[in-house]
Structure 1
């Protein structure tokens, strides 16, 4: 019998993500905006940004400890996320010249994104060890067992991959902000603040790509965006054993609901579309309906 992860891997489309693609100049403009949002003087590194000696897990609740462990797994799966983009936006002779140029411009973002997400993984690893939540060798082995599992997405279109990342990055940012608000441990507060700011920038980049796609291609990209929301799962939901039970536990620790991010997708759609169409209106109604009652009432 095949596992869920094998089924998901088999469902991933092969090769270049389907269009319509943005012109390379549009991608380059979005990448440039993203890179300017974090000049060299504002970047941070794991080794010098935090007072690791002051980290103290005794100041965390059991739920907060569990949340730190959970988000470390999510961030540490970065090679899987990067591998997905390498497969779906290839930089070789399997694509024509125009597609290669599009993918090459996107790659300027992807490598910086990967660097920043890998820094997040290292920061959370360092926090767990410094605070006494885990021991280095044990934690490496635990992360390795999960990290060896595949990460796939069943979406055919490029705009679907961007819309997925938009929701996922915003949901992650929201969670870090809300966990930070209830934590009484200064080092973890600082770590979560750094991570949250980076995730906000990542969200803004993907929102830019989705907005540009809607402006250029209109109704042609509505259905691929709708498909993302219809089957949305956060990373590792289909591969991590006990994911849903653990996810509910860490949601309680920070009063979190990932569908809070859907409101931000609706804003992107509304901002992008000047002339409303039936398909666009149906999309915004559908996304709003997918929010949980609690999330909708909180808006």
Structure 2
């Protein structure tokens, strides 16, 4: 599965970006991109996962063979940790609903743009919900947890609000680009070390989905750069400066737990920062001080010890 940005319009140089960029900022509560460009990005995402390639929680895994006794304590802990992250989907979905609303309070132009991004959001949410359900099912079938106790644990955390400190939509998509890539990398690394083939199968399917989600986010970041020029690099930089993985500020014992799962399978979410820089370089292919500064900032951020 490719993890680079999917098909989109050819890169343009900064002079062309500046000439074609809208004079104002992104309208409030709008995705702020051309509808036809959004349609192209969404269609590419949908095409990358036709019905014949989608997987099903109930039918595509040998749940009867799931066996947590084949896992180390650290691997069991990692499964529990990522289950909390994936299960918080209602909070993630609500962010998109509030940032790009579809109601009578927005004008027709805003509605039609937000409606285009909604086509992606509902498919993305369905896939992420399948991730949560697959991890829930694995824990129950393998003997890590009982359905009743796990359901209640997830509900306690799921009630907590999820929010992001980003006003600019380019920052939201840059954040999600990094988050999806970091998650994909961890799932791949965890899959390589787990002793239960059923869990390895689950993680393989999850990581492939996250790769496709990353690809879409990369396309969106490129669209912002091609539409608004490198002026949107600053909001993307802010997304890195304030970056926290989901639930970092709400899940009890998050940082200690995160260190433990990093010991279980190699994990460094700052590795995903580099992919944001590559996307920016590809979209803005002429020399750009702002992109240079973004790259310097990422290098500095990655140099800070955990």
* Aligned-partner Cα distance in 2 for 1:216–1:195: 32
* Aligned-partner Cα distance in 2 for 1:246–1:269: 32
Q: Alignment length, in residue pairs?
A: 280
**Structure 1 residue 292: Cα displacement:** 4.0
Residue 156 of structure 2 aligns with which residue?
145
Q: Is the 8 A contact 2:222 2:283 kept in 1?
A: yes
The answer on 1:82 being equivalent to 2:93 is yes
Structure 2 SS opposite 1:291? helix
Structure 2 SS opposite 1:240? coil
**Structure 1 residue 294: Cα displacement:** 8.1
Q: Is the 8 A contact 1:56 1:185 kept in 2?
A: yes
**Structure 1 residue 96: Cα displacement:** 1.9
Residue 179 of structure 2 aligns with which residue?
168
Q: Is the 8 A contact 2:230 2:284 kept in 1?
A: no
Which of the residues 99, 102, 119 maps onto 1:91?
102
Q: Which has the higher helix share?
A: 1
The answer on 1:102 being equivalent to 2:113 is yes
Residue 274 of structure 2 aligns with which residue?
263
Residue 294 of structure 2 aligns with which residue?
283
Which of the residues 138, 149, 165 maps onto 1:154?
165
Q: Is the 8 A contact 2:186 2:265 kept in 1?
A: yes
What are structure 1's unaligned runs of at least 5 residues?
1-14
Residue 22 of structure 1 aligns with which residue?
33
Cα deviation per residue 1:235-267 (whole Å; 9 max; x = unaligned)? 000111111111111111101101110111111
What are structure 2's unaligned runs of at least 5 residues?
1-26
Residue 135 of structure 2 aligns with which residue?
124
**Structure 1 residue 16: Cα displacement:** 4.7
Residue 207 of structure 1 aligns with which residue?
218
Residue 3 of structure 2 aligns with which residue?
none
The two structures have a TM-score, normalised by structure 2, of 0.89
**Structure 1 residue 34: Cα displacement:** 0.1
**Structure 1 residue 100: Cα displacement:** 1.1
Q: Higher relative contact order at CA 8 Å, sep ≥6: structure 1 or structure 2?
A: 2
Q: Is the 8 A contact 2:29 2:110 kept in 1?
A: no
The two structures have a TM-score, normalised by structure 1, of 0.91
* Aligned-partner Cα distance in 1 for 2:155–2:305: 36
Residue 11 of structure 1 aligns with which residue?
none
